[in-house]
Amino acid sequence: MRENRSPHILNTSANLLGFCFIVLTSVKVAKLHQSTFIDEGAALAIVIFMSSCLLSFLAMRSKNVNSNKLESIADILFLCGLIVLFITTMLIAFNIIK
């Protein structure tokens, strides 16, 4: 029997969603015009993590067979969000974008 990962996905996605909001807000407040890739990466991660949060929440609330499918999609979206954050961070760290 599969373990229920939905609460873990929801918790971690929500935390990373908040992190992405802070990054996006900081870039906008600092008026960094050169950081369009940071904006786009953070915005994409926000959309992905929000989708993951919603699907994992729906998986927890669902009582039917679809909850496993929703959880799997939320899990995949969470991984995609992590990859987006990783790529954005590496591009900044190695000065590929300035």
pTM for the full predicted model: 0.85
Residue 54 in this model has a pLDDT that exceeds 90: yes
For 13-41, write each residue's pLDDT tens digit. Answer: 999 999 999 988 888 888 766 667 888 88
What pLDDT is attached to residue 66?
Answer: 85
The Cα 7–Cα 26 span in angstroms is 29
DSSP string, the chain: -----HHHHHHHHHHHHHHHHHHHHHHHHTT-TT-HHHHHHHHHHHHHHHHHHHHHHHHHH--STHHHHHHHHHHHHHHHHHHHHHHHHHHHHTTS--
